[in-house]
Structure 1
Amino acid sequence: MRDAMASVRPLTRRLDSSRRLDPEHREREVIAAFSEITTEAITTTRLEDLLGLLGKQLCHLLGVTRCSVYLRDGDGRFRGAAGYCESEGDISTAVQAQEAGIQGDRFSREVIESAAPVLISDVPRDPRPHRRTMEHWHVRAMLGVPLVFDGKVIGLIFVDNVQQDHVYTEEDVALAELFARLGALFLRQAMLNAHLKNKAAEVVRQKNTLAYLADVHQKLTTAVLDGASIQTVVTLLGELSAKPVVLYNEDFQVLAWSAPAGLKMTQPPELAARIRSLPSVKQALASLSASCPSTIVPPTPAVWVGRRHLMCRLIIEGQPSGYLGIVEVGRGLEELDTKLAEHGATVLSLQVLSERRQAEAEGQAREDFLSDLLHRTRDAEQLARRGPQFGVNLAQPHVLVRFSLDNASQNVSVSVGRKLVIRSLATVLSVSEPAAVSLPGAVVALLPLPDGSEPRDLRDAVDEVRVAVGPRLRVRTAVISGVCRSPEDFPLAHRELREIDELATSFGWSGGVVTVTELGLFRLVASSGRVKEAVQFAHETIHPLRDADPSLLETWRAFVAAEGRVQATATSLGVHENTIRYRLGKIGKLIGQDPGALDCLLQSRIAFQVLDLAGW
């Protein structure tokens, strides 16, 4: 503006002679002034510069040293736009901090309402001007002239001599009014030109934005069609935005993230919990929806809350499914980042949905494979050939684990219950998620048996799984099958698990883990279905010890569990071997037979198993 305004040639010499000219000659002086600045005005692009030129030229015409120009905003307020002072040069910054027509400024209001020049010859004594403003600028006499276009005041020009009195003649006022009329036409045209230039610039900007978004769409779509993973898509978004990008789940756990290499980040720039707890941030995140897909949190930069995050909602099948964030690091957030984030969130939503569908399809295929294996609906060779695609090598020993469910207390769906069991098994055993199938009232899982292991070696792990899923899935019993070494073994093992579950239900047993091999002969006895007789037999067997010393019954149980070995029994009870022999002698007298005899061991083993299943 200084360069443009400096190019205006001073008209002081003309002014001196014009004071003696008639009004017709002074009008010519105004026209001459406009003709001299027309060329400069055409080449000046900023409206502020044009207003400064206009005010400076009026100062020269009237022989004063200072002016300020105000423009009407869309809300009807008159805000400072440009200013000139002969001693200070460009004073536009100071003028732009001012507003005309405010409360207490009756001088400006009179100019606006009358749409005609208003002269105050003695400002300190006149009540109309805004007193504090006049004192700040040291105004002694002032002329206010409206810029009127189409009957509407679109601006104001105020002129004065800094800290000096000045006499304005009627011809001065008429000259200023004529100048303002031409200035209003000139200003209106300049505003229209600026508007057209802004529109043209906006069209170019929108064209560039559309080209950019088209390029983004092509790159993201190509990546997805080429089978890119979620991490690959997030990395691509980071490259396109040149900023860190973070993908969260609903609980704000980071699923994937990427940052430009130049930032040398080793940890994702997460949206910290302390920021999420701010009421304004909570409200902004809660407002995200399909109709409001993005927001910036915190909305304004603040030192203590760190970086700003542009957050977008992922919506999958109508349900909120996480967030995508672009972080203000290195470069500030831009409007294009919003478009990029919203487009990226849409692509990632589709990607997550696709992977979820694929996982469900793979899970269903794995469940179908296990179902075929349990029921032998396909030949053994075909099952062995299909196994590897589901991570199952049937040449390796396996066991089946049947988790029998208490359906009356379940609050989750069948598929969710199966997933809980699968994930818990994978976590506890530190293996990939095993194959599992949902059956009425049960989940059956297929587990590889490590080399040198026995089914009973899995008891503690299976019991840990039973406890882990307990808050959401009530497991009544868990039974581990014998070792299956070929496809032909699985249907038999499955049938045995079902029979044992039926026995457990008959006896009302719940809350434990057992292996098929532990039940031994009891399975043959109980398979007859004579549950009441089996319970009666068990009670009759231990009846002689019911009223005796409790340590005798405890010793007998430990002795049977140790398969009749005195040393192992003593170790399990923490007593001396002679104590065990002494107690066994007393037990023999009470039951009328040697507790170490084979027949007695078999009978007592079955009796204790029946009592365990019956919860006694």
Structure 2
Amino acid sequence: MAPLPSTGTETPSPHGRSSDEAVRPPTRPRERDVITAFAEITGEAIGDADLEQLLRSVCVKLCDVIGGSRSSLYLKRPDGRFRGAAGHCTDQGDITEAVKRQETGIAGDRFGREIIETARPVLISDVANDPRPHRRTMEHWRVRAMLGVPLVFDRDVIGLLFVDNKDRERVYTQEDIEIAEMFAQLSALFISQAMLNVRLRSQASEIARSRNTLAYLADVHRKLTNAVLEGADIHSVVALLSDLSAKPVVLYDEEFRVLAWSAPATLGLERPPAISEQIRGMPSVEAELAALSPERPSAVVPPTLSVGLGRRHLMCRLVIEGKPNGYLGIVEVGRSLEPVDANLAEHGATVLSLQILSERRQIETQGQARDDYLSDLLRNTRDKEHLLRRGPQFGIDLTHPHALVRFALSANPRMTASAAQRLVTRRFREVMGIDEPAAVKLPGSIIVLLPLPAGGSADELRTVRDRVGQVRATLKSDLSTAATVISGVCREVTDFPQASREMREVADIARSFDWDEGVLDVTELGLLRVVVTSGRVKEAVRFAHDYVHAVRDADGGVLLATWRAFVAAEGRVQGAALALDVHENTVRYRIGKIRELTGLEPTSLDALLSARLAFQILDFATR
């Protein structure tokens, strides 16, 4: 047993004895004192005093009826240990907090154990020479003599009462022991009933809290369900969760990118209070997040805050079709996290999971319908009016010019066609700064439909080609593509099937020449497409080599470069001279040399067409 602390100079006792006199027992019966004491305690109980106050009153009255100066009360815990619950000292007053730090019946305290095991009072008249008390504790509190009595209810020791006269000798008579035992018996009844009342009040409060929580969650369920039924999107649901919790709410994907967030306006937040990479990298947080599952859907991270870690986050796992699909976080800003926030987060995560799944299904359905529409447009399987009428529901206005872009996929793609299509359209949005364009996946290729706001001018087409090249460059690390081909301008519904065939022919030509780099424009091949699509690729390459063989190495390639410039300038000497940065007479001289070496007339229409075709074949073969 641990006695109570006592400091300061002793004062005369209530019975008029000096501090250095041994206290002598009173000579008259004191049962009436006990009854009077309990009448007063009962009055306090009726006045709604709390349990701790009532226990302290028991300690005060015990000192009064026994004539002690210090008393303490210990109660049995559910784990069987006896912990301090209240205390009183005549010269210090309330010493309950000191008593609460004590425990009796522990190892080395045979005094307390004897009371507990025998359920009978135990008196130690000479603490200094008695082996039963906890020696160090008794010396610390300078206890000379002490009486301990059990609080017994229904044959069970529910607590212990101790009384002593701190730092003074005291002779406890048999009457003292009997009075203390009677006092303890009455106290046990009273305390047992008081503890029962506390438990009942606690249970009633818990029932009320549970009822309020259920009502709150029912209201949450109703509001979230109604919001979804009324067509609320993910951002609206997150905003509603923030309103219900009165705290910031953040929705993340699997890589902790913020998908949506909302916070009370009173907080004045301009950006999402997302969980930082520093916190996510803590081993304890990593373990907590990894342990989230349907059986344990939420956790507070970090469990305890340290300097520099900022806020706590209640993180809840989103699970869609049995697979992890991001997190929902409620952030401890403005108000502390509460147990009900976990219920709110888990309920909100379920609703958001269903919402995300629904939106995905809707997107997939719309995507399939758009794929079917584009397939009809490219294959000319529907009448013109039908295609014009249905286009706007997919964001396509066929009354304006468009161009097609064909991405040929490699024989061993790194991802599914659907994933590749989503990736391609997303990159068009990022690179070109437009809404994700319509696209369709066909066997071995993806075709993208690009609107041309400027009406399909030559400058616009050149810009589109450059941007398509940038898109293609960003896809290299994620998607294996072969040739990329751009169609001409499609101004009528009937232009799209022809443009699709032309792109396929150009892609076949690129494959024939084993060319898979850069971007091709169907308009740049001209006669080459006609020749090559006949299936005589080898003959075409041999023709090209034979046609320029006579001047290939002449003058170190100068004549061949001049011939190319002359053809590119459509047979105009001035244009060739400007491109070569030489005098016009120099071009005329070199054209004469070409005439001598080849026996051809380079300025004739036939020679110009043949030379153009030869140069196109050679350029294509060396790409």
Judge same fold: TM > 0.5, yes or no: yes
Give the alignment partner of residue 237 of structure 2, picking from 233, 239, 242: 233
1:331 and 2:335 are equivalent in the alignment: yes
**Any conservation in 1 of the 2:30–2:65 contact (CA below 8 Å)?**
no
CA distance in 1, matches of 2:360, 2:505: 36
Residues 328 and 572 of structure 1: is their aligned pair in 2 closer, same or farther, counting only changes over 3 Å?
A: farther
- State the one-letter code of the partner of 2:607: C
Residue aligning to 2:256: 252
**Any conservation in 2 of the 1:508–1:615 contact (CA below 8 Å)?**
no
Alignment map for 1:294-333 (pairs within 5 Å): 294-333=298-337
Residues 86 and 523 of structure 1: is their aligned pair in 2 closer, same or farther, counting only changes over 3 Å?
A: same
Residues 500 and 383 of structure 1: is their aligned pair in 2 closer, same or farther, counting only changes over 3 Å?
A: same
- State the one-letter code of the partner of 1:98: Q
Q: Once the 2 structures are TM-superposed, how far is the Cα of residue 302 of structure 1 from its aligned partner?
A: 2.6
Please identify, of 120-129 and 175-184, the stretch whose mean Cα deviation from structure 2 is larger: 120-129
Q: Deviations over 1:159-215 (max 9, x none)?
A: 112322222122212322232222222222222221111111111111111111111
- State the one-letter code of the partner of 1:430: G
CA distance in 2, matches of 1:386, 1:26: 103
Unaligned runs of 5+ in 1: 1-10
1:414 and 2:420 are equivalent in the alignment: no
Q: Once the 2 structures are TM-superposed, how far is the Cα of residue 29 of structure 1 from its aligned partner?
A: 4.4
CA distance in 1, matches of 2:217, 2:128: 61
Unaligned runs of 5+ in 2: 1-12, 18-22
- Secondary structure at the counterpart of residue 160 of structure 2: strand
**Any conservation in 1 of the 2:25–2:171 contact (CA below 8 Å)?**
no
CA distance in 1, matches of 2:147, 2:562: 117
Residue aligning to 1:8: none
Give the alignment partner of residue 355 of structure 1, picking from 332, 352, 359: 359
Give the alignment partner of residue 121 of structure 2, picking from 105, 117, 123: 117
1:367 and 2:388 are equivalent in the alignment: no
- State the one-letter code of the partner of 2:614: A
Residue aligning to 2:475: 469
Q: Once the 2 structures are TM-superposed, how far is the Cα of residue 26 of structure 1 from its aligned partner?
A: 4.3
Q: Deviations over 1:548-582 (max 9, x none)?
A: 42454445445444444556556666777666566
1:387 and 2:391 are equivalent in the alignment: yes
Residue aligning to 1:460: 466
Residue aligning to 1:485: 491
CA distance in 1, matches of 2:565, 2:168: 117
Alignment map for 1:157-306 (pairs within 5 Å): 157-306=161-310
Q: Once the 2 structures are TM-superposed, how far is the Cα of residue 41 of structure 1 from its aligned partner?
A: 2.5
Residues 166 and 582 of structure 1: is their aligned pair in 2 closer, same or farther, counting only changes over 3 Å?
A: farther
**Any conservation in 2 of the 1:245–1:324 contact (CA below 8 Å)?**
yes
Residue aligning to 2:10: none
Q: Once the 2 structures are TM-superposed, how far is the Cα of residue 12 of structure 1 from its aligned partner?
A: 6.7
Q: Once the 2 structures are TM-superposed, how far is the Cα of residue 300 of structure 1 from its aligned partner?
A: 1.6
Q: Deviations over 1:205-242 (max 9, x none)?
A: 11111111111111111111111122211111111111
Q: Deviations over 1:68-125 (max 9, x none)?
A: 1111222222222111112222111121122223343333233323332222223344
Residue aligning to 1:90: 94
Give the alignment partner of residue 524 of structure 1, picking from 530, 539, 542: 530
Residue aligning to 1:4: none
1:133 and 2:137 are equivalent in the alignment: yes
CA distance in 2, matches of 1:208, 1:486: 65
Give the alignment partner of residue 442 of structure 1, picking from 441, 445, 451: 445
**Any conservation in 2 of the 1:508–1:613 contact (CA below 8 Å)?**
no
**Any conservation in 1 of the 2:414–2:480 contact (CA below 8 Å)?**
no
- State the one-letter code of the partner of 1:338: A
Normalising by the residue count of structure 2, what TM-score does the alignment of the two structures yield? 0.90
CA distance in 2, matches of 1:47, 1:579: 115
**Any conservation in 2 of the 1:538–1:611 contact (CA below 8 Å)?**
yes
Residue aligning to 1:58: 62
Residue aligning to 2:381: 377
1:542 and 2:545 are equivalent in the alignment: no
> What's the % identity of the aligned pairs?
60
Residues 83 and 553 of structure 1: is their aligned pair in 2 closer, same or farther, counting only changes over 3 Å?
A: farther
- State the one-letter code of the partner of 1:90: D
Residues 144 and 463 of structure 1: is their aligned pair in 2 closer, same or farther, counting only changes over 3 Å?
A: same
- Secondary structure at the counterpart of residue 151 of structure 2: strand
CA distance in 2, matches of 1:347, 1:388: 32
Residue aligning to 2:607: 600
- State the one-letter code of the partner of 1:483: V
**Any conservation in 1 of the 2:285–2:301 contact (CA below 8 Å)?**
yes
Q: Deviations over 1:272-308 (max 9, x none)?
A: 1111111111111111111111110111233321111
**Any conservation in 2 of the 1:275–1:305 contact (CA below 8 Å)?**
yes
- State the one-letter code of the partner of 1:185: L
Normalising by the residue count of structure 1, what TM-score does the alignment of the two structures yield? 0.91
Residues 106 and 588 of structure 1: is their aligned pair in 2 closer, same or farther, counting only changes over 3 Å?
A: farther
Q: Once the 2 structures are TM-superposed, how far is the Cα of residue 335 of structure 1 from its aligned partner?
A: 1.1
**Any conservation in 2 of the 1:476–1:512 contact (CA below 8 Å)?**
no
- Secondary structure at the counterpart of residue 195 of structure 1: helix
**Any conservation in 2 of the 1:44–1:50 contact (CA below 8 Å)?**
no
Please identify, of 287-296 and 161-170, the stretch whose mean Cα deviation from structure 2 is larger: 161-170
Residues 370 and 121 of structure 1: is their aligned pair in 2 closer, same or farther, counting only changes over 3 Å?
A: same
Residue aligning to 1:430: 433
**Any conservation in 1 of the 2:150–2:161 contact (CA below 8 Å)?**
yes
CA distance in 1, matches of 2:107, 2:422: 71
Cα RMSD over matched residues? Answer: 2.5
